[in-house]
Amino acid sequence: EPEVTQTPSHQVTQMGQEVILRCVPISNHLYFYWYRQILGQKVEFLVSFYNNEISEKSEIFDDQFSVERPDGSNFTLKIRSTKLEDSAMYFCASSGNLAGLSSYEQYFGPGTRLTVT
Amino acid sequence: SQQGEEDPQALSIQEGENATMNCSYKTSINNLQWYRQNSGRGLVHLILIRSNEREKHSGRLRVTLDTSKKSSSLLITASRAADTASYFCATERSSGYSTLTFGKGTMLLVSP
């Protein structure tokens, strides 16, 4: 069964460093997402991406964050200058939505645990 | 309360019993989805129910949706120890793009 994959599974970085989290969405999906979950808290939406551009972003997704789909398979989240409060589990998701039509399930990857020290 | 609030926050039952979790939300939705998360792991999609549906079944799972009350319930029948996990509801708004808003989840503990 197709699945979303994410690398690395765990990333430790120092405050102020840049990190890139990688995701390979399900191949025939059209929408891609990043969510995060701070330990013990609920999952929060960061950004959605469709047709090679950001379609929606939350207040969390400030100028320190960026996303990219550099090729036909990878979807990346970059944090330019990490802060302690960026420590969280970051989930990538993809879905097969067709714009303006009925919705589909979002399938999540296993997550990348980011620890900022 | 926020969009996608589950109750109870924690539920402890014996194997073989049924577990019912509830979710309430505030805005109009396209669909509501339930996910399971084992401790420290990823989110596993369980079931999606669309706004024009009232009930849906998948194996031992039964989901109901009442859009007039803006609430949903997830019933797990004949629970097993392996069902021990956190369960989240997530709503997709009817306006804008298909982002999901998650609740805080219900921690289910099924004892053998």
* Cα A66 to Cα A9, A53, A63, B93, distances in angstroms: 20, 11, 7, 24
Strand partners, B98: none
What does the pLDDT profile of chain A (117 residues) look like in tens digits? 778 999 999 999 999 999 999 999 988 888 899 999 998 888 999 999 988 999 899 999 999 999 999 887 899 999 999 999 999 999 999 987 555 455 578 899 999 999 999
A75 touching B (Cβ < 8 Å):
no
* Cα A28 to Cα A2, A31, A72, distances in angstroms: 10, 10, 10
Q: State which amino acid sits at residue A81.
A: S
In contact, A11 and A75? CB cutoff 8 Å: no
A106 touching B (Cβ < 8 Å):
yes
> For the segment B68-99, what is each residue's pLDDT rounded down to a tens digit?
999 999 999 999 999 999 999 999 877 656 78
CB-CB neighbors (< 8 A) of A44 in chain B:
102
Q: Do A45 and B101 touch (CB under 8 A)?
A: yes
